[in-house]
Structure 1
Amino acid sequence: MKATLLYAAGDVRVGDVPDARIQQPTDAVVRVVASCVCGSDLWPYKSAPATDHPRHMGHEFLGTVEELGSEVTGLAVGDLVIAPFVWADGTCEYCRSGLPTSCLHGGQWGLNGVDGGQGEAVRVPFAAANLVKLPDTTAPDSALIPDLLTLSDVLCTGYHAAHTAGVRKGESVAVIGDGAVGLSGVIAARLLGAEQIILLGRHTQRTDLGGEFGATDVVAERGEEGETRVRELTGGLGAHRVLECVGTEQALTTAYATVRDGGAIGRVGVPQYAQGPIGMDMIMRNITLTGGVAPARTYIEQLLPHILGGEIHPGKVFDRTVTLDDAPDAYRAMNDREALKVLIQP
């Protein structure tokens, strides 16, 4: 089968790999209907050292069950399913407490002999725990497929930022970053009842989409100028909650400068820094720093009805669709800011 492979920084190819197959009785094989390139995929795309053993890429996918191991329950061949962006066993203490990203026996797609999502098919370990069956009325060619695919990662990540930051009805929320995660954070803040949602971003096409998703204000300025503008929009105090959806030290610094005393920062941007401003300023102002990697499997069934009911359309973050053979150009387009988020249809 074909899969997307990362050989070195800037060197993504589509090549032949062994077919996905059942290896354990708890496995399933899923034929991929849709996958995509994530902003976090761009970090290894920019920095990976050269190798003769390329990594299988992709951790967001949706597809149909093609084969089931003998111990898999609750699923049938032909089911349309969503997979979270990390896999877990579903039974360890962390999984039972709603934190499958810390599973004692889980892992990441594309590593240690597990297929990546940007390919024709995927072997799914612990299939019963990881795969979420969609309603039988949802067809593989449904117009909802882009919306549903966001449940694999990006929508759940934006929701995690808002949920852990404690967004409540009537509050003000600042969202740092106009990428797909930031835009998903806008959707999440609106779902949780925020009255004022300030989106910090300077790409008009993206911030316009943020307005469609529920942002009440847009701040295009950066640095101190942007921080001052957020405080002006919040009566001089800062936002109750700030969602940091970028992952740079500057974004974290902006989050501290725009949150009000006693507020909370939900940090979900993949950190590209080793240190940050978490000293006396944080403790003297009673600021809570929370967030982390999103336990998407915990949120999928909670967010799914909002999509099926037409309340939200997060799939609008996909502004380009390509075939699997064009996956390398999808990486280039996102890296060059020509595309917000690219959907791949094998």
Structure 2
Amino acid sequence: MSRSRVRQYIELGDSISRLLLQHLARQERFDELARQSQPRGLAPMCDEMIEEITAEVDAVVADDRMARIRRDTAKVTELADHDFKGAVYKDFEAQLCLETWPVLRGMLRSRKLIHLAMADSARLGRSFFVLSEDAEALHNYALARDEILVDVVVSALKSFRKNALVGGGWNPNFKGKRGPCCLATWFIRLCILELPQHYTTWAKKQRKIAKHEAMTDGVNLSSIIGQTGWDVSEGEATRLSDEFESILGEQSVGTQAVVRWWCMGYQQNEIAEQLHINTATVRQRMARFKRVLYDAARERRIWIPEQLHTASPVGTKTQRGAV
């Protein structure tokens, strides 16, 4: 064999050795990440919760669980090659969001995400609850769900990289009772942890919006009365508006917002859409205010013209205190 041929074999052997060493180093690094325990500060996975999340993922994602875990294992090995950074990792984040977004939206609409977050908070000794009217809004309005989920997902992505990948929290070789879970399930688990904080922020924002609506310019019933053609003097209309405004100001922020939108000419379904509540809640608040209004009329705190009794949505029965 010629010397040049021997030299070629030696160089080829050296190249193969380098590639094998690089592969072994990557595999050793990945195995080390897999062996690490879940990082501090991150709540342990609850088997029952993981089972529920997995069922939701199974209903949306085509591959079976073991196929997803094999695919995810290969993906994490590739991402580790790039130190979980750069364009490759950004592309992975985008794909993860695309895969989990419909699952998260469905779970929030069905209130399962809320129930899991409440159960998880109770298990961790934390206080978390969702107001029924907020739960209804999240069930009925996609925009409300998206407002919360965008913030939840952004926060969860940061935590996911740190805890699941770099920190080794996700373990494809997990030997627990129910075995390992896929990355999508792990990510949704993080979203459940993030939900209480971002729901609270969203709910406070909704209260501020309702309060702002309730603090707009005083109700002016003169234009409403004028459009109907009812024979009410300007002085009577002003008196009615002032008394109406005084009684409305005593009501809850939510009721004030509903009534003020009605006074601006909006229908019940339009009011519900504006305030991110359902139509039944609008009707309940209107009916509650109607009762308050008639109680005030019996106490002679407000004068309502007789012709308003049957035409106005605030009431249809005869008012004892009417003049």
- Please give the TM-score of this superposition, normalised by the length of structure 1: 0.21
Query: Which protein is richer in strand relative to its size?
Result: 1
Structure 1 or 2, whichever has the larger Rg, is: 2
